[in-house]
Structure 1
Amino acid sequence: MTDHLLGDDQLEKARKGCDTCVGGGCMTTIKLATVLKGAIGFKEGNVNETFRGQVLLDDGAVRQAVIKDLDLIQLCNELLAHSLARRVGLPIPDCFLGLVRQDVLATNVAPSLSDGARLVFVSVDVKVPNVTYRWTGSDVAGRKALLDQIIKWGDLGHLYAYDAWIANIDRHPGNLLLGGKDEVWLIDHGHSFTGPNWQPPQLDPNQEYANRLSDWLTGHLSTDQKASRAQEAKNLSDGLGNVDFAEVSAASLISKLLPATHLSALEAFLEKRILKVPAHACKALGVLT
């Protein structure tokens, strides 16, 4: 698939970025960022090689970021999931498509360009702890307060729907950042669209995929809370038909990274899966449709 990576002219367009209007809203094209020397690897339950460091933007700004060494499919999963989250109004940190040279930061699986640079996923470091970290460091009262904060979050029902739509099989507590009141961020979407190694024939819109929110969160919701969140999930799913895949794939840059067969399969998967979202979200919530 490497022959589908960004060419020089495409790189220039990506550097500049643009605003894509979608269904009455606007979505900013993901831009490029250059990874600077000094990034440090860390392990916080992450499977892929992950680093904290700095990236340089084309306007000269330097941002603190989390940098992930991902193969092409997981990289595109992250980029597309980001643009879809922004499109439906869910909180996700700003991201960039990172350019890095091996003498700056050694990567192992990141896609390569013809000049030897590699492409990595860059997410702005919002410096907010994940739920796992907060849970581990809390007493009984603190854990109850943490659960209450999550359960009362206004977009929780939308998250159930979003994860059902994109077939995200990895929303464990470490992939939800939770800070002060209403400070919530969604991270780590490399295992979306059925998983980290999907191929077009595997994208079955009718199949039920694991929604991990049901493993660690659903059981803490009351019957009324489940019903309320299920209605919120339906409300979000009702608007998913307004999402234009061609514009989202362009904004996320995956249209320049993936072969046409993969793009077509993703488009068909997301379009046909919309009708399944309420049922899948309700099941994850333990609510009858």
Structure 2
Amino acid sequence: MNKIDIRTVDVVQYIKPLREGGSLPAIVKADDEFLYVLKFRGAGQGKRALIAELLGGELARAIGLKVPEIVFMNLDDSFSKTEPDEEIQDLLKFSVGLNLGLHFLSGAIVYDPLVSIADAMTASKVVVLDSMISNIDRTAKNTNLLNWHNELWLIDHGSSFYFHHNWETWQAHLTRTFPAIKDHVLLDRAAHLTEAAQEIRQSLNEDHIREIVSKIPDDWLFDESVAMTPDEMRAAYVEFIQVRLSKIDILVKEAEDAR
């Protein structure tokens, strides 16, 4: 199994907000000279959205889907002091510390279900993955997909793993399926769901899942309002993903019925 290496970079320039994103992400430049889309810990869903982004993105990469490089991004307090927009100023102020970034794909086009490229096997893998991680945000209204160099790229998994917004009831989600798959933007193209599930089974094992989950920073997991420790939360994420993987045939049948 390949070790997952998430680089850490420092933000050196705030370039512009992406106002089409509900949580107001931004294009920034880092000290490695690359541009990134920065997801802020101080945004609406907070650090849990960053955790979902990290887990969803790296699971997608592990099963052979295209995802921009994910990095940890340090943001210092200097940016909020020079920002004239009050909304952005507050966001920057509340996001000092470790955030998450995705490599900016210059020239990428937002996926349009009527004209964009998505082959049946790729579409099927995305549908099955999103069922596994309970990603409610890949609909025709908000595809969270890009076409770049004639390939389909996945972005924005921040609405996945929504069980972690209430840790007291997280175990109840282990037995649930994912009826929201009926609204998935790629469902009509997902003609190889069974084959996709087989590939996902072969690509993911417990060691790989643990490796991905181990990359969640303690800082993102610490929450005074929750009785669980960071290690207990990591164990819960591992269990959730493993249980979903074990129920993949049920999720595939649900998606096939929805088609």
Shorter-chain TM-score tier: 0.7 to 0.9
Q: How many angstroms apart in 2 are the aligned matches of 1:100 and 1:38?
A: 10
Residue 4 of structure 2 corresponds to residue 32 of structure 1: no
Q: How many angstroms apart in 2 are the aligned matches of 1:213 and 1:43?
A: 28
Give 3-state SS (helix, strand or coil) of 1:126's partner. Answer: coil
Residue 209 of structure 2 corresponds to residue 234 of structure 1: no
Q: Which residue of 2 aligns with 1:125?
A: 104
1:1-289 alignment to 2 at 5 Å?
Answer: 22=1, 26-44=2-20, 46-56=21-31, 61-70=32-41, 71-105=46-80, 106=89, 108=91, 117-127=96-106, 128-131=108-111, 134=112, 143=114, 145-146=115-116, 149-150=117-118, 152-172=119-139, 173-181=142-150, 183-194=151-162, 197-199=165-167, 201-203=169-171, 204-212=173-181, 214-218=183-187, 220-221=188-189, 226=191, 228-250=192-214, 252-254=215-217, 257-258=220-221, 259-286=230-257
Q: How many angstroms apart in 1 are the aligned matches of 2:23 and 2:130?
A: 21
Q: How many angstroms apart in 1 are the aligned matches of 2:59 and 2:18?
A: 28
User: C-alpha root-mean-square deviation of aligned residues, in Å?
Assistant: 2.8
**1:87-122 deviation per Cα after TM superposition (whole angstroms, max 9, x unaligned):** 22211000111110122254538876xxxx422211
Would the alpha carbon gap of residues 287 and 192 (structure 1) be closer, same or farther in structure 2, given more than 3 Å must change?
Answer: closer
Q: How many angstroms apart in 2 are the aligned matches of 1:101 and 1:274?
A: 39
Amino acid at match of 1:38: Y
Amino acid at match of 1:186: L
Q: Which residue of 2 aligns with 1:18?
A: none
Would the alpha carbon gap of residues 35 and 171 (structure 1) be closer, same or farther in structure 2, given more than 3 Å must change?
Answer: same
Give 3-state SS (helix, strand or coil) of 2:131's partner. Answer: helix
Shift of 1:230: 3.2
Deviates more, 1:122-131 or 1:188-197: 188-197
Amino acid at match of 1:248: I
Shift of 1:264: 1.6
Deviates more, 1:238-247 or 1:162-171: 238-247
Would the alpha carbon gap of residues 243 and 161 (structure 1) be closer, same or farther in structure 2, given more than 3 Å must change?
Answer: farther
Would the alpha carbon gap of residues 280 and 186 (structure 1) be closer, same or farther in structure 2, given more than 3 Å must change?
Answer: same
Shift of 1:124: 0.7
Amino acid at match of 1:130: V
Give 3-state SS (helix, strand or coil) of 1:96's partner. Answer: strand
For the Cα contact (< 8 Å) 1:157–1:229, is it kept in 2?
Answer: yes
For the Cα contact (< 8 Å) 1:80–1:254, is it kept in 2?
Answer: no
Stretches (4+) displaced over 6 A = 109-112
Would the alpha carbon gap of residues 40 and 78 (structure 1) be closer, same or farther in structure 2, given more than 3 Å must change?
Answer: same
Q: Taking every aligned residue pair, what percent have the same amino acid on both sides?
A: 20
Q: How many angstroms apart in 1 are the aligned matches of 2:207 and 2:133?
A: 13
For the Cα contact (< 8 Å) 2:133–2:161, is it kept in 1?
Answer: yes
Q: Which runs of 5+ in 1 are unaligned?
A: 1-21, 136-142
Q: Which runs of 5+ in 2 are unaligned?
A: 81-88, 222-229
TM-score, scaled relative to structure 1: 0.71
Report how many residues are paired. Answer: 235
